[in-house]
Chain A
């Protein structure tokens, strides 16, 4: 499977995702944001970081970069798109995903391992997970507070487009297990066609027991499935 990781000035998880993809046997290429052509890719990843120093709004400037037109074109043709953390913020700024990520409710940058529940395990991204499986995944963000309008929230529920929800170790989804104030504890969402996933947690950081755990591995093996 061929993947492309888009690199913006200020991306800082691009190497991590490349290591994860290569470990999982993806043939990966790094693509600078000023490129105007994408190599043939089955998966495009918008990595985490602080593209353009979060100027204006997180992801706002990156969302207008040259390569984004190609990403949008590929997305519309059905290519799989994964946006992690800043990548999720960029996806909302491009309009590929609806909604937005507000400043964390407690106004603090949060960097810790949290639990998330796999809400939908019947997608290209999550088919190797069990339904309602609880994963321990790292989050590291200042703007991860998912917000959207009521119509979109209803659409997310009706069409099963919520990918992950923040929960506690027992899988309880409540205010206490919500780290950043996200609407209904939402940690990741799909577009209507389910070929685009945006998520705040970092699965690429959970692929090796040497540094963390392997709860992120199945996201990549799902894609290969």
Chain B
């Protein structure tokens, strides 16, 4: 089973990289309202039960992939 995990900074956390990217896009003449930079993981595991697999991915997020103080995550089955 294959999953994707998208990690984004929480709303209140400053994202200076996103701001620089935003300013550069604007300087290229492409206007936008807001941009936030994040991380993306693709994870493959040997598991037949969807609920068990999802639990495993969640454990990975909570234990290592995500810093829950500053980041949120979304899991999606691919």
When chains A and B are docked, how far (Å) is the Cα of A57 from the Cα of B71?
Answer: 12
Interface residues of A (CB under 8 A from B): 56-57, 60, 64, 93, 98-100, 102-107, 147-149, 181
- Kindly name the residue among A102, A106, A107 whose own CB sees the greatest number of chain B CB atoms within 10 A: A102
Instruction: Contact check, A60 vs B67: say whether CB atoms are below 8 A apart.
Output: yes
Q: Knowing A100-B70, A102-B70 are in contact, say whether A107-B65 is a contact too (CB < 8 A).
A: no
- From A145, which residue of chain B is reached at the shortest CB distance? B14
Instruction: Contact check, A64 vs B17: say whether CB atoms are below 8 A apart.
Output: no
Question: What secondary structure prevails in chain A residues at the interface with B?
Answer: loop
- Is the C-beta of B50 less than 8 angstroms from some C-beta in chain A? no
- Residue of B13, B20, B64, B65 touching A102 (CB-CB under 8 A): B13
Chain B residues whose CB sits within 8 angstroms of the CB of A181 once the complex forms: 14
Instruction: Contact check, A100 vs B67: say whether CB atoms are below 8 A apart.
Output: yes
Contact size class for B?
10 to 19
Chain A residues whose CB sits within 8 angstroms of the CB of B67 once the complex forms: 57, 60, 93, 100
Instruction: Contact check, B65 vs A148: say whether CB atoms are below 8 A apart.
Output: no
- Residue of A60, A107, A147 touching B16 (CB-CB under 8 A): A107
Instruction: Contact check, A107 vs B14: say whether CB atoms are below 8 A apart.
Output: no
- From A150, which residue of chain B is reached at the shortest CB distance? B12
- Residue of A103, A104, A107, A149 touching B69 (CB-CB under 8 A): A149
Instruction: Contact check, B16 vs A100: say whether CB atoms are below 8 A apart.
Output: no
When chains A and B are docked, how far (Å) is the Cα of A149 from the Cα of B13?
Answer: 10
When chains A and B are docked, how far (Å) is the Cα of A98 from the Cα of B69?
Answer: 9
The 25 sampled A-B contact pairs (Cβ below 8 Å) are: A56-B64, A56-B65, A57-B67, A60-B64, A64-B63, A64-B64, A93-B67, A98-B69, A99-B69, A100-B69, A100-B70, A102-B14, A103-B16, A103-B17, A104-B16, A105-B16, A106-B16, A107-B17, A107-B20, A147-B13, A147-B69, A147-B70, A148-B69, A149-B69, A181-B14
Given A64-B63, A93-B67: 17 more A-B contacts, CB < 8 Å: A56-B65, A57-B67, A60-B64, A64-B64, A98-B69, A99-B69, A102-B14, A103-B16, A104-B16, A106-B16, A107-B16, A107-B17, A107-B20, A147-B13, A147-B69, A147-B70, A148-B69
When chains A and B are docked, how far (Å) is the Cα of A107 from the Cα of B37?
Answer: 14
- From A105, which residue of chain B is reached at the shortest CB distance? B16
B21 to chain A, nearest CB (A): 11
Chain B residues whose CB sits within 8 angstroms of the CB of A99 once the complex forms: 69
